[in-house]
């Protein structure tokens, strides 16, 4: 589970609810008509922009944001280096018995074991990576569209409420409910856009970059293993994908591993 996303969402909702309860009652901020205008209207407009399948699959994408835990690139590099060392000592077929956690890496190594041509492996893996990134981008687009549409629907609800209010100026009892719809739709639209839709879209973009980085490391590592390159060279090459702080951490782990092996 992504702890940052979950804690951020809980904290944001908690702040808003605290402000509501301190200043009044929850009932004052709950209106079915306003909810229908913002949620129903926003969902309907977004559905017009995308296919039905893409729209409903975005729910799964949102859940992935909450429950997906990205792998550490340094762990992937260490695993690739171990595979390279095994292949160099015992041959490519020895990789068949190696336990591989990452599914994409396992899939890539299977191509190497089966003796697929390097150019075919590269094209196939890159296509698979691009398809994954495209699915992520579609999810981003849906939630960004929802973030753009929700405030607009809130404004539409506000205008509806103002029209109702002005048409009932002679009856003071009807002015209050109409004004409530006018204000609450704006509030609901802002909450839906800025606390849910846009943060999820941004997190999906981050996850897309992370997955592209991991898959790029795996593709280059797999091709290097197939070419029989020195594991140390492979390690040094793959660390170019990492930030400086991650490289230092990887170097420390590598040194400690060497000491354990020597002892």
**For residue 211, is it within any domain?**
yes
13 shares a domain with 44: no
Measured CA to CA, the distance from residue 259 to residue 263 in angstroms comes to: 6
Do 107 and 25 share a domain, yes or no? no
Domain that holds residue 197: 31-74+103-227
Percentage helix, strand, coil, to 5, in the chain?
Answer: 85, 0, 15
Query: What is the chain's pLDDT, residue by residue, as a tens digit (263 residues)?
Result: 677 887 888 898 888 888 888 877 777 788 888 888 899 999 999 999 988 888 888 888 777 767 777 788 998 999 999 999 999 998 898 898 888 988 999 999 999 999 999 999 999 999 999 988 888 888 889 999 999 999 999 999 888 888 878 887 777 777 777 777 788 899 999 999 999 999 989 988 888 888 899 999 999 999 999 999 999 999 989 998 887 777 666 655 554 444 444 34
Q: What is the distance between the terminal CA atoms of the chain, rounded to a whole angstrom? A: 38
Number of neighbours of residue 97 by Cβ within 10 angstroms: 8
Counting the structural domains of the chain, the total is 2
Q: How many CB atoms lie within 10 A of CB 220?
A: 18
CA atoms within 13 A on the CB side of 51: 4
Q: Which two tokens stand for residue 138?
A: 């579609």
Q: Is the pTM of this model over 0.75?
A: yes
Tokens of 238: 């793959």
Residue 122 falls inside a structural domain? yes
Rounded Cα distance between 69 and 166, Å, is 52
């Amino acid at each position: 589970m992504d702890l940052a996303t979950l804690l951020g969402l809980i904290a944001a909702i908690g702040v808003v609810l605290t402000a509501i309860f301190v200043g009044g009652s929850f009932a004052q901020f709950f209106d079915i008509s306003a909810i229908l205008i913002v949620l129903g209207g926003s969902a309907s407009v977004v559905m017009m922009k995308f296919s039905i399948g893409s729209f409903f699959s975005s729910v799964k994408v949102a859940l992935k944001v909450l429950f997906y835990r990205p792998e550490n690139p340094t762990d992937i590099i260490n695993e690739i280096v171990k595979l390279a060392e095994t292949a160099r000592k015992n041959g490519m077929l020895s990789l068949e018995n190696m336990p591989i956690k990452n599914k994409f890496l396992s899939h890539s190594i299977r191509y190497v074991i089966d003796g697929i041509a390097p150019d075919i492996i590269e094209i196939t893996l890159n296509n698979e990576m691009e398809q994954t990134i495209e699915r992520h981008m579609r999810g981003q687009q849906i939630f960004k569209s929802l973030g753009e549409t929700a405030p607009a629907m809130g404004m539409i609800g506000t205008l509806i409420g103002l029209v109702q209010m002005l048409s009932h100026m002679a009856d003071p009892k009807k002015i209050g409910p109409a004004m409530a719809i006018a204000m609450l739709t704006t509030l609901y639209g802002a909450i839906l856009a800025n606390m849910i839709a846009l943060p999820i879209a941004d997190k999906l973009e981050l996850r897309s970059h992370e997955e592209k980085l991991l898959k790029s490391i795996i593709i280059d590592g797999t091709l290097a293993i197939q070419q029989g390159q020195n594991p140390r060279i492979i390690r040094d090459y793959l660390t170019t994908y990492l930030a400086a702080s991650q490289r230092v951490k990887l170097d420390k782990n590598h040194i400690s591993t060497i000491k354990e092996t020597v002892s």
